[in-house]
């Protein structure tokens, strides 16, 4: 079984092909970073137009890299939400057109489910597993019970972790996208102990008995530190030390929240799995310090950590193709009048949280 996956929900125009042997036959990701960097963030209208301009050639490149043609495909999957709706529509319509003209099934995929199932593509992780989903738009702890069934245990009450990385980076004068820039800058720190003493930061929600997150206080603390530094351009060493302190704190917060989730997971699901696994996914899972902290935490609790390789941590078509393939294998597909969904929670029954708004 061979499936093409298309991803256009943010600023990557991506297409990839996977098969049921869990092989990624091609994975083409065209970043629009250059078009958004001057604005310091993703501009939805520019993103949608750029997807439209590039989608055809990205899909053809994915077929060419895999040495396949449209007639080899058993299905075509596309992100149908959540995300920037203009871009989502471009990828979704391209997939529907391919499905209609080649008479193959169409699958409308939840972008978050794409991230969630990547661990099954790369490591064949069995259900149920515990999952930390950390991206630019979401920060959630969920249990993946089976395909299409997720229980949300925690969510951010304000910013997402990736958003906090991006906004803090901007405050420090680092270019967009901030996450990878903060990581790169933090690793230049020669005196980590000095950095965390010089730039104390809060640990929002630490010790609370639930699995929720809050990042706006952390971002404000970064702003306060920046404002206390001498006026004008920040000195390079200040940015390096503040980046280190910030990243260190992020890892601490995420590990603390996951610690609570692990305790609960072992209690409620301990007998339902032989290989208890913590999966980390979404763009922020590219961060080595965060994965290191989560790896130590998992080990302490006798669990294994599964983190995606760099090529699959950020937005990509392979995760969408794989989610489509898993659904196709179960006999599922979607009609061609399937609607794009700007909001599409993985757990529609997840309890509402005060202040969490649409991110819940």
Query: What track of x and - describes contact with ligand KG4 for positions 184 through 223 (by CB under 6 A)?
Result: ----------------------------------------
Q: Is residue 286 close enough to count as binding ligand KG4 by CB under 6 A?
A: yes
Helix H or strand E encompassing 151: strand 149-155
Q: Count Cα neighbours of 110 within 13 Å in the Cβ-side half-sphere.
A: 16
Contact between 20 and 325 under an 8 Å Cβ cutoff? The reply is: yes
Separation between Cα atoms, residue 94 and residue 335, nearest integer Å: 14
Give the other-Cβ count within 10 Å of 301's Cβ: 15
What single-letter DSSP state applies at residue 69? -
Identified binder of ligand KG4 from the candidate list 5, 75, 137, 317, rule CB under 6 A: 137
Give the ranges where the chain is alpha helix by DSSP (H): 33-36, 44-66, 85-102, 111-123, 161-171, 178-186, 192-198, 216-228, 236-269, 288-300, 310-313, 317-329
Separation between Cα atoms, residue 303 and residue 301, nearest integer Å: 6
Q: Which stretch binds ligand KG4 (CB under 6 A): 131-139, 224-232, 326-334, 352-360?
A: 131-139
Q: Is residue 284 close enough to count as binding ligand KG4 by CB under 6 A?
A: yes
- Three-state SS at 184: helix
Q: Which stretch binds Zn ion (CB under 5 A): 93-101, 303-311, 312-320, 326-334?
A: 312-320
Token reading at 183? 């990581």
Number of residues engaging ligand KG4 in binding (CB under 6 A): 20
Give first-to-last CA distance, the chain, whole Å. 35
**Closer residue to ligand KG4, CB minimum distance, 212 or 315:** 315
**Closer residue to ligand KG4, CB minimum distance, 185 or 277:** 185
Minimum gap (Å) between residue 146 Cβ and ligand KG4: 23
Q: Which stretch binds ligand KG4 (CB under 6 A): 57-65, 172-180, 185-193, 272-280?
A: 172-180
Number of residues engaging Zn ion in binding (CB under 5 A): 2
Q: Is residue 166 close enough to count as binding ligand KG4 by CB under 6 A?
A: yes
| Full DSSP string of 234-267 | PPHHHHHHHHHHHHHHHHHHHHHHHHHHHHHHHH
Minimum gap (Å) between residue 283 Cβ and Zn ion: 6
Contact between 136 and 166 under an 8 Å Cβ cutoff? The reply is: yes
Identified binder of ligand KG4 from the candidate list 81, 276, 282, 345, rule CB under 6 A: 282
Query: What track of x and - describes contact with Zn ion for positions 250 through 289 (by CB under 5 A)?
Result: ----------------------------------------
Q: Which stretch binds ligand KG4 (CB under 6 A): 25-33, 130-138, 231-239, 319-327?
A: 130-138
Q: Is residue 91 close enough to count as binding ligand KG4 by CB under 6 A?
A: no
Minimum gap (Å) between residue 28 Cβ and ligand KG4: 15
Q: Which residues contact 192 (CB under 8 A, 6 or more apart)?
A: 244, 248
Q: How distant is the alpha carbon of residue 77 from its chain centre?
A: 18
Q: Name residues contacting Zn ion, limited to 81-140 (CB under 5 A).
A: 135
Minimum gap (Å) between residue 135 Cβ and Zn ion: 4
Q: Is residue 118 close enough to count as binding ligand KG4 by CB under 6 A?
A: no
Q: Is residue 265 close enough to count as binding ligand KG4 by CB under 6 A?
A: no
Where along the sequence are the contacts to ligand KG4 (CB under 6 A)? 10, 135-137, 162-163, 165-166, 177-180, 183, 282-284, 286-287, 314-315
């Amino acid at each position: 079984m061979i499936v093409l996956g298309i991803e256009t929900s943010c600023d990557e125009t991506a297409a990839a092909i996977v098969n049921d042997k869990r092989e990624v036959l091609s994975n083409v990701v065209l970043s629009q970073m250059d078009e958004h960097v001057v604005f310091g963030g993703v501009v939805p209208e520019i993103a949608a137009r750029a997807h439209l301009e590039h989608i055809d050639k990205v899909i053809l490149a994915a077929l060419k890299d895999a040495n396949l043609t449209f007639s080899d495909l058993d299905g075509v999957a596309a992100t149908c939400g959540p995300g920037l709706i203009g871009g989502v529509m471009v990828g979704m319509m391209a997939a529907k057109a391919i499905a209609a003209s080649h008479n193959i099934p169409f699958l409308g995929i939840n972008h978050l489910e794409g991230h969630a199932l990547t661990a099954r593509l790369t490591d064949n992780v069995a259900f149920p597993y515990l999952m930390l989903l950390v991206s630019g738009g979401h920060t959630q702890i969920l249990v993946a019970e089976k395909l299409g069934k997720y229980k949300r245990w925690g969510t951010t009450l304000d910013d997402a972790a990736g958003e906090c990385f991006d906004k803090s980076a901007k405050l420090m004068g680092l270019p967009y996208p901030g996450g990878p820039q903060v990581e790169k800058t933090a690793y230049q720190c020669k005196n980590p102990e000095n950095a965390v003493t010089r730039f104390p930061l809060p640990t929002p929600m630490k010790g609370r008995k639930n699995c929720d997150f809050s990042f706006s206080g952390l971002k404000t603390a970064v702003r306060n530190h920046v404002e206390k530094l001498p006026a004008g351009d920040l000195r390079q060493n200040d940015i390096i030390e503040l980046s280190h302190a910030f990243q260190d704190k992020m890892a601490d917060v995420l590990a603390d929240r996951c610690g609570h989730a692990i305790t609960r997971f072992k209690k409620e699901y301990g007998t339902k799995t032989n290989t208890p696994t913590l999966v980390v996914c979404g763009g922020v899972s590219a961060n080595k310090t965060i994965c290191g902290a989560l790896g130590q935490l998992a080990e302490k609790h006798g669990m294994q950590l599964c983190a995606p390789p760099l090529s699959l941590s950020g937005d990509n078509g392979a995760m969408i193709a794989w989610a489509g393939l898993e659904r196709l294998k179960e006999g599922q597909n979607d009609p061609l009048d399937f609607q794009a969904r700007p909001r599409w929670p993985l757990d529609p029954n997840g309890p509402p949280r005060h202040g969490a708004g649409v991110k819940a």
